[in-house]
Amino acid sequence: MMLKKVLATALAGVMLAGLAACGGDKDTETASATAGAAGQNWRYAHEEFEGDVQDVFAQKFREYIEANSPHTVQVFRFGELGESDDIMEQTQAGILQFVNQSPGFTGSLIPEAQIFFIPYLLPVEDEQIVEFFRSSVAINEMFTELYAEQGLELLTMYPEGEMVVTADTPVRSPEDFRGKNIRTMTNPLLAETYRAFGATPTPLAWGEVYGGLQTNIIQGQENPIFWIQSGGLYEVSPNLIFTGHGQFTTAMMANQAFFNGLSAEDQQLVRDATAHAFDYITEYVPGLGDRMLEKILEASDQVTVTRLTAEERQAFMDRAPQVEARFIEMTGERGAALLEQFKADLEAVVGE
């Protein structure tokens, strides 16, 4: 596993050297408001595999750009330029123009982004969650300012599906989590969530998760069902637990210097392409989890599915306030104000 990571990192370095060597002058031109009729090639990286949600979103964005302008978009999938932290660094450096990254990784850069990991804050129902992302002031105004402070133009956030836990044994209570090392992204608040749930949070890069489950270094992890299916995680962690504790959320953004250097026409093009991809993906994701779960059950007779009852879920919900308190402790007044607006936006959509 370590050798594979070293090789992947080396390959990413070679690719990036090539991109930088051949793209420097082009990036300068792209940043100019006078892009011209010849068009530019824009580079866009995301965190998932071919055909996964972020890839579908990226392809719809690319299709719109290329159908409505002389520009082209080159999409890089997971591992082609490294892992999540690598592609974020490359975006901030201007090597990439666009990046799709979940707040699970951005949380170390923007602590307030960890709000998405407060358990039982976001509903898991598809229609409610889509309307929330469309209309939320917290997401569409407050988060835009937070990302801008890091040199990033936040273009949209969108949900990818309910988070599902996989483990070496079925789990129905916090007591069942005791003694289990549960993989988390490098996100302090997510670690706090699993600590509250009774488990031992274990931060681990994605490239090490399958092997960690296979060798029992970790006994579980969480992801939306489509990722559990495409990554084959059910093969080494066959017990699926639907706790209803949250949605996997991701953000699509641009290097801000690049975006600000675009003509007004191209800025609107990017926003229109983003809206086009958002509309498509919010129709695509509902039902995706059910379809992928069917594929998992067809592929393996070792898989179990546990859906917590209302009473069982309440035992986990009772532990959520300590995670919320930890979020405010981490983020201070800005985090508290964001959380207040977040809750007001949710109430406007789903009620008290």
3-class DSSP string for the chain = CHHHHHHHHHHHHHHHHHHHHHHHHHHHHHCCCCCCCCCCEEEEECCCCCCCHHHHHHHHHHHHHHHHCCCEEEEECCCCCCCHHHHHHHHHCCCCCEEEECHHHHCCCCHHHHHHHCCCCCCCCHHHHHHHHHHCHHHHHHHHHHHHCCCEEEEEEEEEEEEEEEECCCCCCHHHHCCCEEEECCCHHHHHHHHHCCCEEEECCHHHHHHHHHCCCCCEEEEEHHHHHHCCHHHCCCEEEECCCCEEEEEEEEEHHHHHHCCHHHHHHHHHHHHHHHHHHHHHCCCHHHHHHHHHHHHCCCCEEEECCHHHHHHHHCCHHHHHHHHHHHHHHHHHHHHHHHHHHHHHHHCC
Q: Tell me: the pLDDT tens digits for 212-267?
A: 999 999 999 999 999 999 999 999 999 999 999 999 999 999 999 999 999 999 99
Structure tokens at 28: 């300068």
pLDDT of residue 30: 41
**Dihedral sign for Cα atoms in the order 205, 207, 210, 214:** negative
Identify whether the C-beta of residue 150 lies closer than 8 Å to the C-beta of residue 226.
no
What is the value of pTM for the model shown?
A: 0.88
Beta strands at 247-255 and 98-101: parallel, antiparallel or unpaired:
antiparallel
> pLDDT by residue (tens digit) across 175-220?
999 999 999 988 899 999 999 999 999 999 888 999 999 999 999 9
pLDDT along the chain (352 residues), means of 10: 38 50 42 58 96 97 98 96 92 97 84 95 86 95 96 97 97 98 91 97 92 98 96 98 96 98 98 98 95 98 97 98 97 97 94 68
Q: What angle do CA 220, 168, 161 make, to 5 degrees?
A: 45
Per-residue pLDDT, 9: 41
Crossing angle of the two packed helices 188-196 and 320-350, in degrees rounded to 10? 100
Q: What's the pLDDT score for residue 19?
A: 54
Entry field: residues in the chain: 352
pLDDT score, position 85: 87
Per the CB < 8 A criterion, the answer to whether 130 and 204 are in contact is no
Joined together, the tokens standing for residue 298 give 């067809």
Chain-centroid distance, C-alpha 22 = 30
Task: Identify any residues that bridge with 272 across adjacent strands, giving them in sequence order.
Answer: none
Domains plus CATH for the chain? 39-160+248-288 (3.40.190.170), 164-246+292-350 (3.40.190.170)
